[in-house]
A and B are shown apart, each in its own frame.
Chain A
């Protein structure tokens, strides 16, 4: 990998992160009225109001507030949650394991199921199966994951008793039980995304079939298997890597809603609670944290892409 590629990629990453941080800061600057009164209500104790103004720095000029916020972001100090009266970074650290295990399990399921399925469905094409596959994929993409979650709980937890109905079992309390506690939510998030990735993988493979190099390989007498796995798959894998990077954001968004369905105390449930309580420092910190995380993941995907195909340059 060329170092200029990496340098340029990291430069765009830096500008993106700066815009993200600025947008998160500015979004909470435009709140109509007094944010402290919005949070505490007009009848709050004046001493409490004064203390919070001090804490949030609402009396400072905007430039000083921006400097304070930037300094905080750079040093990992995301402020203090009003509802929980604890540092935002500590709250995030407490809950990140829950969301991360759901997201990783869901992402793993998508890769393991969708990519091979997409390949098989591209290779074994037949006239009659085409509309069936097409319809199934489109329906799969349209199903809301939280609805699936509600149905999965009802069937697999309440009726069959195979999984817990909700709640998180930490890793330290046993790996099997921990995985069991996040299995259904991961499946619920994964199913619509499996449809998306099957579609991309399949289209990407079919796209490659029409290229000259495939005909050349066949006419040289290579067996089908060889052409498929050595030639087609290698070229078809590039768009698949891109789409896997893209759906990571969907997985993250999926965890936010699914944590509510299964009462899992992760970042999503924390964010929903923060929005309901209008706990602005907590919302700001969570939004920034989650968005940074997704952006960094996308950088890794881009680098992986570059490793697989060094021809790809930054656009």
Chain B
């Protein structure tokens, strides 16, 4: 029992701490994120600059704190887009059945064939870079997977007695989907959502590292790595700090998803 919940507890703690750090950044950062301390470039950690300074003498810790906002914003927006669109498509396909299901799912299969980042790059090529477009691109990326999960959940419950009963007394299909079936698939959607959140953080970091995601002056952990590249030997902290932040956030969401899975599936093997 102890082991089973440790994933969830640690995962929630990590994400909670990062969320706290991000909330604090709304009212307080040790330094202004854009203030350049020119006489203090490439410094290591000190009482004044907790994680050292970057190539312009900006405080790395303040920028990492602020980068949390970008990560949470892009992550939650992308997951919201993925969950809403994916659940609608999967739900309708699964509930309607017949040719509607066939057409929807063939299209989803086709979209699933695009490696995630390729599709995100295509969306950005069309919509242009920027924080919201990055979230949109990453959200679209997760729609096919989530729609499949939603569909299989709906198929599982569609023929059950309580759904049949609701249908018999004349409940409309939309109401059946939302009020009777959706509550039963929430747990699998929570798992899918936290995996998608972890993937969104990695994709945002990757896109911003490529210069095609979040644009300056908004600080983003991926963007910081782009700026830090080539300065590792001079100032390792500048490179290590944003990378650790990304890894921790992704790890937190992976652990949450594994924890939820463990809590629900007694038989399943856990990591």
A residues with a Cβ closer than 8 A to B are: 12, 15-20, 22-24, 27-28, 30-31, 130-131, 134, 137-139, 141-144, 146-147, 150-151, 153-154, 158-159, 199, 203, 206-207, 249-250, 252-253, 256-257, 260-261, 271-272, 274-276, 278, 280, 283, 287, 290-291, 294-295, 298
**Shortest CB distance A286–B (Å):** 8
CB pair B246 A295 closer than 8 Å: no
CB pair A199 B271 closer than 8 Å: yes
Tell whether B56 is near chain A: CB-to-CB under 8 Å. Answer: no
Within residues 190 to 215 of chain B, which ones have a CB less than 8 A from any CB in chain A? Answer: 198, 202, 205-206, 209-212
Contact of A16 with B113 at beta-carbon distance under 8 Å, contacts A154-B233, A280-B125 already known: yes
Contact of A206 with B125 at beta-carbon distance under 8 Å, contacts A150-B239, A257-B206, A295-B113 already known: no
CB pair B106 A291 closer than 8 Å: no
Pick the most buried of B109, B110, B243: most chain A CB atoms within 10 A of its CB.
B110
A-B contact sample (10 more), CB < 8 A, given A12-B109, A142-B251? A19-B109, A20-B114, A23-B114, A28-B126, A143-B243, A147-B239, A151-B232, A154-B232, A272-B210, A283-B125
CB pair B270 A134 closer than 8 Å: yes
- Once the chains are docked, how many angstroms separate the CA of A274 from the CA of B121? 10
CB pair B225 A147 closer than 8 Å: yes
CB pair B239 A151 closer than 8 Å: yes
With beta carbons under 8 angstroms apart, the residue of A141, A146, A278, A287 that contacts B114 is A287
CB pair B269 A206 closer than 8 Å: yes
Residues from chain B with a CB closer than 8 A to the CB of A275 are 121, 124-125, 212
For the complex of A and B, list the 8 residue pairs with the smallest distance between their C-beta atoms, beginning with the closest.
A19-B110, A154-B232, A147-B243, A142-B250, A142-B251, A249-B115, A253-B117, A134-B271
Contact with A along B239-259 (1 / 0, CB 8 A): 100110011101100110010
Residues from chain A with a CB closer than 8 A to the CB of B254 are 138, 141-142
- Once the chains are docked, how many angstroms separate the CA of A161 from the CA of B248? 30
CB pair A23 B126 closer than 8 Å: no
- Once the chains are docked, how many angstroms separate the CA of A180 from the CA of B222? 27
**Shortest CB distance A115–B (Å):** 17
Selected A-B contacts with CB under 8 Å, 23 pairs: A12-B109, A16-B106, A17-B113, A19-B109, A19-B110, A19-B113, A23-B110, A134-B7, A141-B251, A143-B243, A143-B247, A144-B202, A144-B246, A158-B232, A203-B269, A203-B271, A252-B118, A257-B210, A275-B121, A280-B125, A283-B121, A287-B118, A287-B121
Pick the most buried of A23, A28, A158: most chain B CB atoms within 10 A of its CB.
A23
CB pair A260 B209 closer than 8 Å: yes
Residue of B nearest to A148 (CB): B243
CB pair A139 B247 closer than 8 Å: yes
Pick the most buried of B114, B198, B255, B258: most chain A CB atoms within 10 A of its CB.
B114
Residue of B nearest to A165 (CB): B230
Residue of A nearest to B255 (CB): A138
Residues from chain B with a CB closer than 8 A to the CB of A274 are 125
**Shortest CB distance A99–B (Å):** 12
Residue of A nearest to B239 (CB): A150
CB pair B6 A278 closer than 8 Å: no
Residue of A nearest to B124 (CB): A275
CB pair B209 A257 closer than 8 Å: yes
Residues from chain A with a CB closer than 8 A to the CB of B270 are 134
CB pair B125 A138 closer than 8 Å: no
- Once the chains are docked, how many angstroms separate the CA of A154 from the CA of B240? 12
Pick the most buried of A31, A141, A203: most chain B CB atoms within 10 A of its CB.
A141
- Once the chains are docked, how many angstroms separate the CA of A23 from the CA of B255? 34
Tell whether B172 is near chain A: CB-to-CB under 8 Å. Answer: no
- Once the chains are docked, how many angstroms separate the CA of A203 from the CA of B265? 14
Residues from chain A with a CB closer than 8 A to the CB of B212 are 272, 275-276
Tell whether B48 is near chain A: CB-to-CB under 8 Å. Answer: no
Contact with A along B34-55 (1 / 0, CB 8 A): 0000000000000000000000
CB pair B115 A18 closer than 8 Å: no
Residues from chain B with a CB closer than 8 A to the CB of A22 are 110
Residue of A nearest to B229 (CB): A150
